[in-house]
Structure 1
Amino acid sequence: MASVKEIAEHLKKNAPQLANELVDDIAQRFKVDVPKSEIDHAKVIYTEFLGFLGELLPCKEERVPEGLLKWSKDNGEREAANKGKMSDIISRYPDTRIVFTEQISKICLEYGLSPDELVTIITRVNYFLDLSINETVFAFERYTDQLIKRVQEEVNYLSAPVVPIQDGIAILPLIGSIDIDRAALILEKVVPKVTRLKVNCLILDFSGILTIDAAIAKHIFDIHNVLRLIGVETIATGIRPDLAQLVVSGGINLTAITSFATVRQAIDSMK
């Protein structure tokens, strides 16, 4: 009667062929056509996974295999980088588990393993499959979150442009929705830009604001207080009635800053 070690050697030795059979079987179970490029890539992935199984099955201790976790992490990050979908990963898992169970069971029966040995191997295979899918999903989410954060930081950076319009005068157009992170970034980036551009008067234009709350508005108006300390005049334009009411209710003194309805009016006042 064969041993678990012989099954492991069989998996390692025949990994490419078994991977082809597994992927073809899994693909046939899907209700949609899978592109050939994805099938070819999956065969490479499962060849590597079967190699991991061959290494891990003979080990009796329930340790977390670092190599398998790294491999799964790399797969998750690659899927995220290629703009893959989490649903694609999850939806294929049940069929993958079934096919793996069937194929491994078939090999074990061909080698004449006892029912207890068969159950042991199938249990370990499913354990490693679960570890792999969990780490793949976690890595996918981490990578996606980092990507979203990086894109948001770039958007925030680009959304606080100090635009010179004539000697000593610049405008800061505030556009879209402003949250606390963006408000803090605006305050952080604007003051150095104003100093570097030798601006004497900065126009804060609120006409493009979509949403803002009192706490965030206070962060924005803090620009006025900071710039006043370094001798830069601040003018506010485009403050809608609803925004003005919100600002006043937040305890901000609008009379401390010169305001105009439009940027044109602010510029004309300087002539």
Structure 2
Amino acid sequence: METNRELIRFLTDHAGQLAEDVVERVSGLLGDVTDEELKQARLMYAQLWKALADTLRTGELRVPEALMRWSRSNAAIQTKNSGSIAAVADRYPPSRDAIADLLLEISEQLGVSLKEYAHLSKLVNRFLDLSLQEKYYAYERLSKLYQSDAEDELAELSAPVVPVYDGIVIIPFIGRITDDRAYAIMNKVLPKVAEMNVTCTIADFSGLAAVDDHIMHLLQQVEGALELMGIHVISTGIRPHLAQSIVNSGQALAGRSYYGNVKLALESIIK
């Protein structure tokens, strides 16, 4: 019992130095690590040692919030930089080894039994497992958010709104139109058109990367939505494969007028 109290006091009083020892032992094994990352790691490990002491004192697992914040922060950095979660996960084995070595040194210094040492190691591994789990969950959540934001940006790039005259805009459809991009176009691009008091839209399809029956249906939905908004739609740039898809589908695009290119469409409008 006395050994336990002495261990708790030691972990609490020396949390900062123990954190410094972990970082010093691990930093040389991790490759490129910024000074800010090292600073945050020291703060996190100091809280980890204190949480270990609190857990021993109360008998209840006290997972430090600093550890969870650190885990989420690392996941956010990796996601923002398009990095791999494996790059962060690879840091855990050397951290476990460094902490295990320190626990062994502390146990020998304070006369901690093998059973107590095993219990300490189990608690530390539990902390680190929860940290790694939190990191994976945060990375997955943030990756989905970044992917969603990227899809919205790609959608607007896939169908930019180009004003040419009062009430007239060109929407060039560029690249590959997927379900997600078609949905984003409906929710991002079309409202922008509505705000511009547009009366005529030239939908140019010359930049499409590929067209099949499904994409054809998506394009019909986009043009149909424009028509329902009271906007006259002119279709241009219909290449042979798109024309064939229109014929095969048995349904025309919403545009009531067709021209080979944007120049001819504009001449028909402003003549």
Q: Are 2:204 and 2:262, in contact at CA under 8 Å, matched by a contact in 1?
A: yes
Q: CA RMSD in A?
A: 2.9
In the alignment, what sits opposite 2:133?
Answer: 134
Structure 2 matches for 1:91-240, cutoff 5 A?
Answer: 91-157=90-156, 159-229=158-228, 231-240=230-239
1:67 to 48, 57, 65: 65
Q: Does 1:18 align with 2:14?
A: no
- One-letter identity of the residue aligned with 2:63: P
Q: Does 1:53 align with 2:76?
A: no
| Structure 2 residue matching 1:134: 3-state secondary structure | helix
- 1:57-79 deviation line (CA, Å, top 9, x unaligned): 34434x57373664345433553
Compute the displacement of 1:86 (Å): 1.9
Query: Cα–Cα, structure 1 residues 21 and 190, in superposed 2: closer, same or farther, change >3 Å?
Result: closer
- 1:204-224 deviation line (CA, Å, top 9, x unaligned): 011122245432332322243
- One-letter identity of the residue aligned with 1:50: W
- 1:119-169 deviation line (CA, Å, top 9, x unaligned): 111111111111112112322332233233224324434554332322443
Compute the displacement of 1:14 (Å): 0.7
When structure 1 is superposed on structure 2, of 98-107 and 168-177 the one drifting more is 168-177
Q: Are 2:25 and 2:98, in contact at CA under 8 Å, matched by a contact in 1?
A: yes
Query: Cα–Cα, structure 1 residues 189 and 144, in superposed 2: closer, same or farther, change >3 Å?
Result: closer
Query: Cα–Cα, structure 1 residues 91 and 226, in superposed 2: closer, same or farther, change >3 Å?
Result: closer
| Structure 2 residue matching 1:3: 3-state secondary structure | helix
If the length of structure 2 is used for normalisation, what is the TM-score?
0.83
In the alignment, what sits opposite 2:29?
Answer: 29
Query: Cα–Cα, structure 1 residues 48 and 244, in superposed 2: closer, same or farther, change >3 Å?
Result: farther
Distance 1:5 1:91 in 2: 34
- One-letter identity of the residue aligned with 1:205: D
Larger RCO (CA under 8 A, 6+ residues apart): 1
Distance 2:194 2:134 in 1: 48
Distance 1:82 1:188 in 2: 25
When structure 1 is superposed on structure 2, of 169-178 and 148-157 the one drifting more is 148-157
Query: Cα–Cα, structure 1 residues 94 and 215, in superposed 2: closer, same or farther, change >3 Å?
Result: same
Compute the displacement of 1:258 (Å): 2.4
Percentage of pairs with the same residue: 33
- One-letter identity of the residue aligned with 2:23: V
Distance 1:2 1:199 in 2: 81
- One-letter identity of the residue aligned with 1:12: T
| Structure 2 residue matching 1:204: 3-state secondary structure | strand
Compute the displacement of 1:264 (Å): 1.0
